[in-house]
Amino acid sequence: MKFTKLAAAAVAATMAASPVLADLVFPSLSYRTGPYAAGGIPFADGYADYFTLINERDGGIGGVKTRVLECETGYNTEKGVECYEATKGEGALVYQPLSTGITYQLIPKASADGIPVHSMGYGRTSAANGKVFEWIFNYPANYWTGASSVINHLLDINDGDISGKKVALVYHNSAYGKEPIRTLEELSKKHGFGLTTLAVDHPGQEQKSQWLQIRREKPDYVVLWGWGVMNQVAIQEATNIRFPMENMIGIWWSGAEIDVLPAGDKAHNYKAMALTNVGNDYPIYSDIQKHVVDTGKAAGAGDQLGTVPYNRGLYAAMLAHQAVLKAQEIHEVADITPAMMRDGMEALEMTEEVMAAAGMPNFGPSFKVSCENHGGPGLASVVQWDATAKVWNNISAYREADMDLINGLIEEDSKAYADENNITERCN
Amino acid sequence: MFYREAGDFKTSYSADSQTFPIAFDRYRYWVVLAVAYCVVPFIINDYWLNAVLLPFLIYAVAAIGLNILTGYCGQVSLGTGGFMAVGAYACYKMMTSFPDLNIMIVILLSGLITAAVGFLFGLPSLRIKGFYLAVATLAAQFFLVWLFNKVPWFYNYSASGQINAPEREIFGLVITGAQSVPWAVYLSVLSVVILLALLARNLTRGNLGRQWMAIRDMDIAAEIIGVNPLKAKLSAFAISSFYVGVSGAMFFVFYLGAVEVGEVFGIQKSFIVLFMVIIGGLGSIFGSFAGAAFMVLMPVLLKNVMVGQFGWPTDLAAHFEFVIVGLLIVVFLILEPHGLAQLWRLAKEKLRLWPFPH
């Protein structure tokens, strides 16, 4: 019982100590520990550095300072719940948990509390249907558009015909990895390719049997749907069985420098999907160097600048920043509430001019969010790893997914959710 | 002085064999219950409920369940996570198949289904014991998690393989799902926990509990004095699984709301509950509560102190948390191998003599 009392004292003290200031709070449910930290650290650094830059360079957004509230989840849903409850009372504007499991937890909770969730390129795919999911956004792309983009790329390199080819999906055995299976099954019917699915259990260090099976079945292409340590192991195992790297394609969560570096030169030509552009050749990087890194305010160790997940953290923060600007414009107040933030996200329009003004020209696709469509157009490009220069090269333009097929699936899945939870459709 | 048997006269057998023979203990027990029922519901908020009280209470039920099996009957089990998953998935299937059934009945039935599954996996315990039995239950853990991942019927063919708790009410108050009323959830879980704890306490003091302890202490001797090992071991497996199943169902409907079997009910869950039982004290109901409190509250407390008070980076705090909790476990086990319950017993012994030590 004495621990209860101590905990009570600690929590009470924490709550009393936190100052009540007018600021824009962006909780960052990060994971800098555990088997998924390889992806979690750079993303959290990018997210935090962007808002530090906004505070240092612009004095906040519309004159109001931003505050990033970091909470360690370790990619664990129980800790995610604790983090959500601990941070939501501080005026959290938007949650970006970078975990599909935690997103599933937060969808009903945040909808009830009236706080938007932005699961950029992860989470529940059918949340793209804004008619059912009022508070949840997953623009600019989601798992199903990602799966379709992979197949589109295979169609491109095979002159539009992949019937009779064999595709193997190596996936993380969780909600994250299972999401694309439905879409791939539909696509395999449509285009006539054979699909084998191979599950890898958390955390993904043990994949010998899966790759043995691939070696035996000799699929033409392997699609990798992994995260954290699982990516490095998968690419290593693929090189061990001498699987041709140009025939292995990862989703955007399996395409970071850290995933391919351990395999060295053998990972040359590995392909992955990309949500954003690669590299650090953008005006914003000189600002980050000047205002954040040189002043010693960089998050974490400050050694992740320019990596793929870091860029993605910057991108997620930039989209939140633009949504705040939009919300401030709509409601004509600087210190916005989560409900106003939601309106801003719903009215978000990303164009080339907006991105250039933010110092990130040609960084992501142009898209527009609407009341009905919270998922954006589902644009993704393909990048390929150059092991000698140790850089990712863009090998295709942003290309749209098979939206006719995906919209049907989204409609079906979100309708099931609406029926289960007695939600009436909005936007009519 | 005030904590002693002397002067507290018992006039009946039932009074003589009650749980708390010392008057002070009885009053303390009623005060704790009164605070839990009459004070906490008025001050509870979402954070206290979801981050502290719910995990504590629900883990306590799982710890009691494992304590019945491991602490009282001496059968080591590493399948707790798998049995919790059985409870959660049974609960989900019944909630979605029979939406009108009261949620409390569903939770009870989930416990019974888990008891049946536990009974099945308990059968090998009649032939093997010790480490070999631990490995057999480990197989149950992996098999059950694999099963719930593999067969889509268990998660109603949802695209992600997740199960989500629909909204349910009790006395017109929403207690599951996102719209739930915190104090109503708390009171529902608390009532289940107290009922189950009372039941466990009385089971372990009665005929059945004595049979379990006889088996634990020396199974051959127990058989010679007339304890039926088949009945004792299988009843321990079934009742323990019932508790673990109820806790798994509550873990799903009240605490998390959405569950992915591999992540939530994996092998680490079995270990956490086993640690709770070992740290709390094998063969003690109080120990189950103390162990659950230690394992649930310690990390939350450390996090709040290190990040909230000292403003340390979150990754440093997370690593320190592992170090400190691990260190405390080692220190506790060296200083007091019988767990927190033994510390409590020693404190009571000291208190009897206080303030005159001789």
Tell me the C-alpha distance between A266 and A248, whole Å: 12
What is the pLDDT, as a whole number, of residue A152?
93
The residue count for chain B: 358
**CB-CB under 8 Å, A173 with B47:** no
Q: Do B256 and A17 touch (CB under 8 A)?
A: no
pLDDT tens per residue across span A194-239: 999 999 988 888 999 999 999 999 999 999 999 999 999 999 999 9
Find the closest chain A residue to B307 by CA distance.
A71
- Are A77 and B263 a contacting pair at CB < 8 A? yes
CB contact under 8 A, A72 and B55: no
pLDDT surpassing 90 at residue B68: yes
Cβ neighbours of B160 in A, within 8 Å? 100, 104, 124, 175, 178-179
Contact A108 B164 (CB under 8 A): yes
Distance CA A224, CA A167 (A): 11
Tokens 């055995």 identify what position? A173
* Separation in Å, CA of B122 to nearest CA in chain A: 26
Q: Tens digit of pLDDT for each residue in A42-91?
A: 999 999 999 999 999 999 998 899 999 999 998 998 899 899 999 988 88
> What is the rounded distance in angstroms from the CA atom of residue A271 to the CA atom of residue A223?
10
Task: Please tell me the predicted confidence (pLDDT) of residue B25.
Answer: 85
Of residues B138, B150, B151, the one with CA closest to residue B79? B138
The reply to whether A71 touches chain B by the CB within 8 Å rule is: yes
Transcribe B101-167 into DSSP letters. S-HHHHHHHHHHHHHHHHHHHHGGGGT--THHHHHHHHHHHHHHHHHHHH-GGGGTT-TT--EEPPP
Q: What is the pLDDT of residue B337?
A: 84
Q: pLDDT tens, A134-191?
A: 999 998 899 999 999 999 999 999 998 999 999 999 999 988 998 899 899 999 999 9
- Residues in chain B with CB shorter than 8 Å from the CB of A300 are 313, 315
Q: B310: phi > 0 → left, psi -120 to 50 → alpha, else beta; which?
A: alpha
Q: Cis (ω within 30 of 0) for the bond into A203?
A: yes
What pLDDT was estimated at residue A13? 46
| Cβ neighbours of B32 in A, within 8 Å | 1
- Please report which helix (H) or strand (E) contains residue B353, including its range: helix B339-353
In this structure, the strands spanning A221-225 and A271-274 are: unpaired
CB–CB contact A72 B255 (8 Å):
no
Question: In angstroms, what separates the C-alpha of A130 from chain B's closest C-alpha?
Answer: 19
For residues A39 and A309, the answer to whether their CB atoms sit within 8 Å is yes
Q: Tell me what the mean pLDDT of segment B77-93 comes to.
A: 95
Res A355: pLDDT: 93
Indicate which of B164, B315, B322 best probes the interface with A, i.e. most A CBs within 10 Å of its own CB. Answer: B315
Cα distance between residue B303 and residue B51, in whole Å: 12
- Cβ burial of B47 (10 Å; 0-12, 13-18, 19+) is buried
Q: Is the ipTM of this complex over 0.90?
A: no
Chain B CB within 8 Å of residue A109 CB? yes
B5-10 contacts at long range (C-beta below 8 A, 24 or more positions apart): B5/B352
DSSP state of A129: B
**Chain B touched by A16 (CB under 8 Å):** no
Q: Look at residue A20 and tell me whether its pLDDT is greater than 50.
A: no
- Chain B residues with CB under 8 Å of A4 CB are 293, 297
Place of tokens 């992600």: B160
Interface contact A412, partner B, CB < 8 A? no
Contact list, B92 vs chain A (CB under 8 Å): none
Show the tokens assigned to A305. Answer: 């600048």
Q: Do A104 and B309 touch (CB under 8 A)?
A: no
Cβ–Cβ contact A423 with B under 8 A: no
pLDDT at B148: 93
Going by C-alpha positions, the residue among A175, A146, A401 that lies closest to residue A249 is A146
Q: How far is B287 from chain A (nearest CA, A)?
A: 12
DSSP letter for each residue of A181-208: HHHHHHHHHHH--EEEEEEE-TT----H
Tell me the chain A residues in contact with residue B308 when contact means C-beta distances shorter than 8 Å.
10-11, 13-14, 17-18
Residues of A in contact with B166 (CB under 8 A): 420-421
Q: Cβ contacts of residue B11 below 8 Å, gap of 6+?
A: none
Taking only the tens place, the pLDDT of each residue in B246-293 is 999 999 999 988 888 888 999 999 999 999 999 999 999 999 999 999
* Residue from B204, B195, B294 nearest B250 by CA: B195
A159: helix, coil or strand?
coil
Residue B77 has pLDDT above 50, yes or no: yes
Inter-chain Cβ pairs, chain A and chain B, closer than 8 A:
138
pLDDT at A16: 44
Bridge partners of A284? Answer: none
Min distance A421 CA to chain B CA atoms (Å)? 7
Tokens of A325: 């600007």
pLDDT at residue A257 above 80? yes
Which residues in chain B are contacts of A71 at CB distance < 8 A?
Answer: 307, 314
Chain A from 269 to 328: CB within 8 A of any B CB: 300
Number of alpha carbons in the 13 Å side-chain half-sphere of residue A74: 16
Q: From A101, which residue of chain B is nearest by alpha-carbon distance? A: B260
Q: What is the pLDDT of residue B358?
A: 67
Give the pLDDT confidence of B182-225 residue by residue, as tens digits. Answer: 899 999 999 999 999 999 999 999 999 999 999 999 989 999 99
Pairing of the two strands A221-225 and A166-172: parallel
Smallest CA-to-CA distance from A137 within A417, A347, A304 is with A347
Of A13, A33, A175, the CB nearest to B309: A13
Kind plus residue range of the DSSP H or E element containing A222: strand A221-225
> Could you give the CA distance from residue A209 to residue A224 in angstroms, rounded to a whole number?
15
Residues from chain B contacting residue A199 (CB–CB below 8 Å): 149
What is the band of B6 on the pLDDT scale with cuts at 50, 70, 90? Answer: confident
Q: Which residues of A touch B55 (CB under 8 A)?
A: 78
Mean pLDDT of chain B: 90
pLDDT at A14 over 50: no
A13 Cβ partners below 8 Å, 6+ apart?
A: B308, B309
Mean pLDDT (chain A) is 89
The torsion of the CA quartet B129, B134, B137, B141, rounded to 10 degrees, works out to: 180
Q: Where residue A262 falls among pLDDT bands split at 50, 70, 90?
A: very high
Q: How confident is the model at residue A18 (pLDDT cuts 50, 70, 90)?
A: very low
Contact A81 B46 (CB under 8 A): no
Torsion of CA B55, B61, B62, B65, to 10 degrees: 170
Nearest chain A residue to B178, by CA: A109
Beta-sheet pairing, B173-174 with B169-170: antiparallel
Residue ranges with strand state E in A19-139: 24-30, 66-72, 117-118, 136-137
Closest-CA distance of chain B to residue A228, Å = 15
| Nearest residue in B to A172, CA atom | B262
pLDDT by residue (tens digit) across A303-331?
Answer: 899 999 999 999 999 999 999 999 999 99
CA distance B281 to B289: 10
E strand or H helix at A168: strand A166-172
Q: Which one of A41, A98, A105, A205 would you mutate to disrupt binding with B, by most B Cβ within 10 Å of its Cβ? A: A105
Which chain A residues have a beta carbon less than 8 Å from that of B33?
none
pTM of the model: 0.90
DSSP string, A342-367: HHHHHT-EE-HHHHHHTT-TTSS--E
| Inter-chain CB proximity A71 and B314 less than 8 Å | yes
Please indicate whether, in this complex, the C-beta atoms of B160 and A77 are within 8 angstroms of each other: no
Q: What are phi and psi of A30, to 5 degrees?
A: -95, 170
B295-333: string of b/e by CB count within 10 Å (b at 16+)? bbbbbbbbbbbbbbeeeeebbebbeebeeebeeebeebe
Q: Is the pLDDT of residue B97 over 70?
A: yes
Would you say B239 and B68 are in contact if contact means Cβ atoms under 8 Å apart?
yes
Q: How do strand A271-274 and strand A379-386 relate by DSSP bridges?
A: antiparallel
Phi, psi angle pair for B179, to nearest 5°: -85, 10
Q: Are B88 and B252 in contact (CB under 8 A)?
A: yes
How close does chain B come to A44, measured CA to CA in Å?
11
Contact B159 A179 (CB under 8 A): yes
Q: Give the chain B residue whose CA is nearest to the CA of A82.
A: B51
CB–CB of B298 and A101 under 8 A?
no
State yes or no: pLDDT of A17 exceeds 50. no
CA distance A417 to A423: 8
Q: What tokens appear for B177 in the block? A: 């799902």
Beta bridge partners of A384: A271, A393
Helix (H, G, I), strand (E, B) or coil at A37: helix
Helices B229-250 + B80-97 axis angle, to 10: 60
A206 inside 8 A of chain B by CB: no
- The rounded distance, in Å, linking the Cα atoms of B151 and B82 is 15
Looking at residue B177, the DSSP 8-state letter turns out to be S
Let me know the angle formed at the C-alpha of A127 by A125 and A132, rounded to the nearest 5 degrees.
Answer: 145
User: Would the CA dihedral through B18, B19, B21, B23 be positive or negative?
Assistant: negative
Which member of A17, A33, A82 has the closest CB to residue B319? Answer: A33
Q: Is residue B141 within 8 Å of B269, Cβ to Cβ? A: no
How many Å apart are CA A402 and CA A146, to the nearest integer?
Answer: 10
Q: What share of chain A is helix, strand, coil (3-state, %, to 5)?
A: 50, 15, 35
Nearest to A245 by CA among A235, A232, A257, A233: A235
β partners of residue B8 = none
Sequential DSSP letters for B267-336: HHHHHHHHHHHHHH-TT-HHHHHHHHHHHHHHHHHHHIIIIIIT---HHHHHHHHHHHHHHHHHHHHHH-
Q: Do B159 and A178 touch (CB under 8 A)?
A: yes
CB contact under 8 A, A81 and B256: yes
pLDDT value of residue B356: 77
- Whether residues B263 and A100 touch (CB distance < 8 A) is answered with no
Among A70, A38, A50, A39, which Cα is nearest to A314's?
Answer: A50
Nearest-CB residue to A178 (from B160, B298, B318): B160
**Cβ–Cβ gap B303/A72 under 8 Å:** yes
Q: For residue A400, give the 3-state DSSP assignment.
A: strand
Query: Is pLDDT above 90 for A21?
Result: no
Token pair for residue A332? Answer: 């004509």
Q: Does A69 reach chain B within 8 Å, measured CB to CB?
A: no
What 3-state class would DSSP assign to B76? coil
Residue of B nearest to A18 (CA): B308
Contact B308 A100 (CB under 8 A): no
Whether the pLDDT of residue A26 is over 80: the answer is: yes
